[in-house]
Amino acid sequence: MTRLLKLPLAAAFLCGAVPALAADAGDAADAGADAQSDIVVTGQRPEYGARSTSTATKTNTDVKDVPQALTVISESQIEDQQLRSISDLLLFVPGATPATGESNRDQIVLRGNNTTADFFVDGIRDDVQYFRDFYNIERVEVLRGPNAMIFGRGGGGGIVNRVLKRSTLNPYRELRAAADGFGGFRFTADVDQPLSSRVGLRLDAMYEDGDSFRRHVDLKRYGINPTAALLIGPNSRIDIGYEYLRDRRTADRGVPSRAGRPLEGFDRTFFGDPDKSFSRANVHLASFALEHRLAGGLTLRNRTLYGDYDKYYQNIYPNGAVTPAGTVRLSAYSDATTRRNLFSQTDLIWDAQLGGISQTLLFGFELGRQSGNNHRHTGVFAASGTSPTFLDVPITQATVNVPIVRFATKVADNDIKATVAAIYVQDQIRPADWLEIVAGLRFDRLRMEIDNLNSAQEFARTDELWSPRLGLVLKPLRKLSAYASYSRSYLPQSGDQFNSLAANTQTLKPERFDNYELGAKWEPIEGLLATAAIYQLDRTNTRLTDPLDPTRFVLTGKQRSRGLELGLERSVTNRWQISAGYALQKARVTRATSACPSGDCEVPLVPRHSFSLWNRYDVTRQVGIGLGAIARSKSYASISNAVVLPGYTRLDAALFYKLPHGIQAQVNFENLLGADYFPTAHNDNNIASGAPRTVKASLGYRF
């Protein structure tokens, strides 16, 4: 039944009285809404995707006018599919592949570029290695292609940005319980409570006790995220928040290979010692956001994020292929990381008419500091320090209980410090209704200092880098945009986690990523967005051992990724929502690197063809059904190209039912046909087994 609401002044922020705020709050209404407008609320579920975003340009921009490939997975889609991780979500993003991350972190491959660090929260860097959760997420945005003009270093293949929930200053409460067929369960709570027309609080919380089809593998985690919103007059809003996430899980490195393929018949077997293979993370994130609308079309915005991360993991894992005698070699190590991040971005946005031409000018600067320590120890399989660092076991007895494992030999112990100061400018020029030009330039000064406590050596490097961006958007029809774009990013030779700066790398220039892209975005019917992009992404300044001096590197390596990406998202009708994607990719090393001395290797975890589809159709107001599929062609487990991950197809489904009094029930079925598959890997002998038929049930209560 349709309701008519008279929005208070507080809610006007979410409906566009300040456009940038409206975008970040989930695009509740058009940007021109007035504080006293009447908003029609129909009770329809929030659609998949998003109409506009500030992630790709730092200004509130219609998604179809962003000159770069972008996929948005909204909270409603995450709930409908019961997605629990970045890895689950990326299966529904064209041009993206999840990696296993050694079973202790999120790790992704975007357009053939592997990263552990290109993660952001509300546009601010969140680059430490851990598993992120979706309990407090408004949506997840996956921007593909480099764009250092917006995000700074890294992001060679793209970035993943989580947009967090915040107070809407309207009452909302939801409790949800979920369970699966393996014995795991999960509880979440979302409470949005206004204290007045100008002050609101929101609390999101989660607890999960998970199990797995893999023997001896489980997880326990919980998180809590209180936020507060304060409106100061009609033009200013302050948001503050704090999140604590605690994650404990088994570090399961998967199965080894045999004769160039994943080992079959051992999908449930743990290779190693599960009691001594675990990962734990404690994450504290404190955030502050201020937006103030000035006179003359000016908006001032600041976002600041402080993160304190404590991460430890150790594992006993397969470190070689299965031998003809049917044995596999196990190795062990431990790794600990502490990190403190502080980033602050300040933007001044000016919507103006200059010389009769409409444009949106952005001026901004970013300051950041990161410090911490990383140390790693090799495992020894006996009491004596002279004992071997490996253990050969039969694959029929691969799950071991090693009496004594000492993590003795210290192979890394680094104190790191990185500081960045950046300034950027961007102009979105609209000389005609059918034309928009997006041009930007960023300057970064990045200083890295590494204190190698193992060798008592200190290394440092300062890079001063310019990152351009240029996009041309043509709009021949109101609902059709075609674009051409160029963008650039860079990655210091210290790597995305600062662990490879040494005597032979501190003088080397950063790796460089150049992306050339043509695309189109079309709304064939109201609410549905179809996208297409073709691209070429060149990665240069990649290291190769100097053939004349093996102690040095030369920057002659090169990698090229080319592809076609197609997407379909949002709503076909008010009952039918869809998220679909297809990617045709080819990523190769085209000039010798240290990892590929031959100069002719296919990049791992990049299937030539990948397809994903998810639909939800509401048959009645009470009953809905879901149907989805994932299909991928073969890919390689590592740059060696020695082990092939076979192609596979997985079919999923769901049933949804609305009960009286705000109760909603759903059941998800994953891998309905029971496909036996290996979706991803960390290397040739740490290969993830796909889950068999899986049932997930969820019960929610909104009041």
Report if residue 459 sits inside a domain. yes
Same domain, yes or no, for 362 and 427?
Answer: yes
Which pLDDT tens digit goes with each residue over 450-469?
998 888 889 899 999 999 99
- What is residue 385's predicted lDDT score, i.e. its pLDDT? 58
DSSP result, 660-686: STTEEEEEEEESTT-------EEETTE
Mean local confidence (pLDDT), 67-91: 96
Q: Please report the pLDDT score of residue 549 as a whole number.
A: 79
Q: Is 123 left (phi over 0), alpha (psi -120 to 50) or beta?
A: left
Check if the beta carbon of residue 585 is closer than 8 Å to that of residue 606.
yes
Give the CATH number of the domain where residue 492 resides: 2.40.170.20
**How much is the pLDDT for 700?**
96
In the predicted structure, residue 22 carries a pLDDT above the cut 50: no
Direct distance between the N- and C-terminal alpha carbons of the chain, in angstroms, rounded to an integer: 16
Task: Determine which helix (DSSP H) or strand (DSSP E) holds 12, and give its type and residue range.
Answer: helix 9-12
Indicate whether 461 belongs to any domain.
Answer: yes
Whether residue 18 is found in the same domain as residue 153: no
Rg (C-alpha) for the chain, rounded Å, is: 25
**Given this model, what pLDDT does residue 30 score?**
34
Is the sign of the CA dihedral 145, 148, 152, 156 positive or negative?
A: positive
Name the residue among 79, 126, 392 with its Cα closest to residue 284.
126
Q: Is residue 322 part of a domain?
A: no
Residue 22 and residue 94 share a domain: no
Query: What pLDDT is recorded for position 100?
Result: 95
**Percent of the chain scored above 90 by pLDDT?**
82
What distance in Å separates the CA atoms of residue 334 and residue 386, rounded to the nearest whole number? 18
Is residue 71 included in any domain, yes or no?
yes
Res 526 pLDDT > 80: yes
Q: Which single residue is written with the structure tokens 């860079």?
A: 490
Identify the CA nearest to 214 among candidates 183, 186, 185: 183
Q: Give the containing element (helix H, strand E) for 311.
A: strand 298-318
Tell me: do 462 and 448 sit in the same domain. Answer: yes
Q: Is a pLDDT exceeding 90 seen at residue 412?
A: no
Q: What is the per-residue pLDDT for 12?
A: 39
Query: What pLDDT does 384 receive?
Result: 57
Q: Are residues 26 and 71 in the same domain?
A: no
For residues 12 and 53, membership in a common domain is answered with: no
Q: 15 and 143, same structural domain?
A: no
The Cα 426–Cα 443 span in angstroms is 12
Q: Mean pLDDT throughout 119-141?
A: 96
Instruction: Tokens for 533, please give them.
Output: 């992009």
Residue 162 lies in a domain: no
2: buried, middle or exposed (CB in 10 Å: 19+, 13-18, 0-12)? exposed
What percent of the chain clears pLDDT 70, i.e. is strictly above it?
93
Q: What is the pLDDT of residue 555?
A: 85
Asked if pLDDT for residue 6 goes beyond 90, the answer is no
Whether residue 485 sits in one domain with residue 607: yes
Domain range enclosing 582: 44-157+173-258+269-316+332-344+357-702
- Sheet strands (E) in 35-112: 38-41, 52-53, 61-62, 70-74, 96-99, 107-110
Q: Are residue 595 and residue 665 in the same domain, yes or no?
A: yes
Average pLDDT over residues 617-632: 97
Q: What's the pLDDT tens digit per position in 37-75?
A: 332 333 456 889 999 999 999 999 999 999 999 999 999
Instruction: Answer whether residue 684 is part of any domain.
Output: yes
Q: For residue 25, what pLDDT is reported?
A: 37
Task: Identify the band that residue 33 occupies on the pLDDT scale cut at 50, 70 and 90.
Answer: very low
Band (pLDDT 50/70/90 cuts) for residue 551 is confident
Residue 165 domain flag: no
Lowest mean pLDDT across 69-83, 222-236, 373-387, 440-454: 373-387
Same domain, 282 and 251: yes
Q: How many domains does the chain have?
A: 2
**Residue 545, pLDDT score:** 84
* pLDDT at 8 (0 to 100): 40
Whether the predicted pLDDT of 24 surpasses 70? no
| Interior angle at CA 498, CA 496 and CA 504, nearest 5 | 110
Q: What are the residue ranges of helices labelled H in 74-229?
A: 75-81, 86-90, 148-151
**Alpha-helical runs (H) found in 83-237:** 86-90, 148-151
Q: Are residues 27 and 76 in the same domain?
A: no
Distance of CA 348 to the CA centre of its chain: 27
**Statement: the pTM of the whole predicted model exceeds 0.75:** yes
Q: Considering the chain, what is the average pLDDT of its residues?
A: 91
Question: Do 1 and 137 share a domain, yes or no?
Answer: no
Across the range 229-233, mean pLDDT stands at 95
Of 21-35, 219-233, 239-253, 585-599, least confident by mean pLDDT is 21-35
Confirm whether 324 is domain-assigned: no
Is the pLDDT at 518 greater than 70? The verdict is yes
- Taking only the tens place, the pLDDT of each residue in 148-193 is 999 999 999 999 999 999 999 999 999 999 999 999 999 999 999 9
**pLDDT tens digits for 486-508?**
999 999 988 888 877 777 788 88
CB contact at 8 A, 152 and 133: no
